Chains A and B, each alone.
Chain A
Amino acid sequence: AQSVTQLDSQVPVFEEAPVELRCNYSSSVSVYLFWYVQYPNQGLQLLLKYLSGSTLVKGINGFEAEFNKSQTSFHLRKPSVHISDTAEYFCAVSSGGSYIPTFGRGTSLIVHP
């Protein structure tokens, strides 16, 4: 079985400050890990993904995430956020034998001017 925990439901931050959105997963086998972003009144779109190889993954809009197998984490970071980064962010895990990924409950990133 696989599961995902997003530790913060809401993260307020000021513009140009750094941000980290936390994600922990559980799975007994090797996994794929994803971060998706949902802007207001839109569908979800892929931000970045880890399939294999380097544990530091770079995505769109300056975001990056680090896969930490020992801590079963895949935290999302950005060194300097913009107002336009205000959105809902979802972490997801997909493991062997699963047809559909498991999503976390989402973290609302609110960037204040």
Chain B
Amino acid sequence: NAGVTQTPKFQVLKTGQSMTLQCAQDMNHEYMSWYRQDPGMGLRLIHYSVGAGITDQGEVPNGYNVSRSTTEDFPLRLLSAAPSQTSVYFCASSYRGGRGLGTDTQYFGPGTRLTVL
């Protein structure tokens, strides 16, 4: 069981370039999400998905696109990179909680450290 995997681990882009951060999970989790982590800002939700074909925006979605064609994969696309997108990006997956409550434990990937020059 690999859990949640992310590639690449590090990436340097120039302003205006586009790229895709990959995320995959092998736990058959319904929910997947993307966060960015910046010093002093905690984790901020970019986009999330509650199942294949279903995505929604989080707190900071501008400049990012997502799609979810399979349960396992949830790539994050940067359309035109900007220095403000320099950050550490985490993908996470989780399953629905019991008793109609929210989501249970989040499983995080190791992160992608992105620098935009």
Contact = CB atoms under 8 A, between A and B. Distances in A.
B104 A32 contact: yes
B109 A100 contact: no
A22 interface: no
Interface in B90-114: 90, 92, 97-106, 108-111
Classify the secondary structure of B's interface with A: loop
Nearest to A42: B110
A102 to B, nearest CB: 9
B90 A43 contact: yes
A26 interface: no
Nearest to B44: A103
A37 B23 CA distance: 21
Interface residues of B, number: 27
Contacts of B103: 32, 94, 98-101
A67 interface: no
A11 interface: no
B42 interface: yes
Contacts of A21: none
Contact of B102 (A44, A97, A103, A105): A97
Interface stretch (A12-20, A46-54, A73-81): A46-54
Contact of B48 (A9, A51, A100): A100
B110 to A, nearest CB: 5
Interface of B: 4, 31, 33, 40-43, 45, 48, 50, 58, 90, 92, 97-106, 108-111
